[in-house]
Structures are given as C-alpha cells and as structure tokens.
Amino acid sequence: MFGISWLDPHKLIASLNGLALFVILAMVFTETGLLVGFFLPGDSLLFVTGLAVAHGDIKVGGNSVPIWLMCVLVSVVAFAGDQTGYWIGRRSGAALFNRPNSRLFNHENVTKTHKFFERYGSRAVILAHFVPVMRTFIPVAAGIGEMEYAKFVRYNVIGVLGWGTGVTLLGVFLGGFKIVADHIDLFTIGFVVLSTIPIWFEAYRASKEAKREAEELKAND
C-alpha cells in the first residue's frame, strides 16, 4: 500500500531463505535472556510472525510451520530466555548493573526496573512481558532480589504464554482477514505504534513523578 516492502512479512520472511524460524527464535531468546537484547521489537516481531504463519510463509524443509508448533517454540524459547535472565541476575546481575560509566548497565535502568517491581510486586514477572525493555530487565531484577525460584517460574509461565502465544495468535487471527492481508504494511505500522504506547506512558508518568519530587524538594528548602 505504502511501498514500504520491508514491512510486508511475506517479503521479509522470504528474504531469510528458509532461516526465518531460527532467526525469530534467536531474537526472542536474545530479547528475553540477554541484556543486550533490550532494544529488540519483541511485540512487533511476534505479531508479524503470526501474520506470516497464517499465510504459510514460515517453512522448514519446504514444509510450513503449523500454528501450534510456532506458539510452542516461541513460548519455550521465551521461557528459556527468562530463566537465563534470572540466573544472570542471581549470580552476577548486581555487579553488572553497578558498573560505572556504562550506558546499558546504568543506574537509570536499575531504578526504572526496581520501581516497576515495587509497583506490581510478583505480578511484574507477568506484566513485564508486555512492556518493552522491562521484558528484558525484570527477570534479572528477580534474580538480583533472590525471588523464590519456584515462584518466579510459576509467574513466568503465565507471562510467557500470555505474551509469546497470545501476541503470535493475535497476528494469526488478524492475518486471516482479507482487509489485513490487503493492507498488511498499514496494520504492521499500526501494531508497532500500539506496542510503543507503554513506553510513552511510562516515560510520561516518570516525567510527572520527577517534576512532583522536584517541586516537593523546592518547597521544603
């Protein structure tokens, strides 16, 4: 529709020459399990994956990957990624986050992560899957805080199924509509915009909170 061919999952998947499944799973694991993956577009990736699966574009050995298998693989890999993040936090996360002069492991990311955890408690393990950046750092924070592992796993399974399977199925469901298939770039752009709303909301809330704290500090002087 807009001539933005790289937003068409059919063309994007085709350009990977049969490696699409492995690339998708590698990106999911990197975002959920490795701290360097916090910038990856997980929500958009799963949505586009669902669209591609709905049209049989993801193939292995010439055979289209079925919907159920795609959901299982994404959820399992996301679960494995979260476990990796938890144990990174449990064993060395505190030292990493306290490294001086680091753009990634800095106090701002640590503060945001702790505030998210304090606000939602154990539910943060579930909710963080739907919030970019938090999706990467919350498992690490759970490890640093030595959250009971069995409890972390329980909440993690719920979050992984809700996000990994849920967002993928959303793409599959919408991909079955002709209007979506005919305007796939428009719907992809729309979902990308929607998936950034939590970021803007948290940024706005943090800005208001900082302004309020500054005013209170000024009033107390």
Please check the confidence at residue 74 and state whether its pLDDT lies above 50.
yes
H helix or E strand, kind and range, residue 2: none
Supply the pLDDT for residue 48: 81
Beta strands 59-60 and 63-64, pairing class: antiparallel
Longest CA–CA span in the chain (Å) reads 71
In the chain, what are the helix, strand and coil shares in percent, each to the nearest 5? Answer: 80, 0, 20
Residue 129 and residue 163: Cα distance in Å, rounded?
6
Taking the model in full, what pTM does it have?
Answer: 0.73
What is the token pair recorded at 69? Answer: 């298998």
**pLDDT tens, residue by residue, 148-183:** 899 899 999 999 998 889 888 988 887 777 777 666
Instruction: Write the DSSP symbol of residue 57.
Output: -
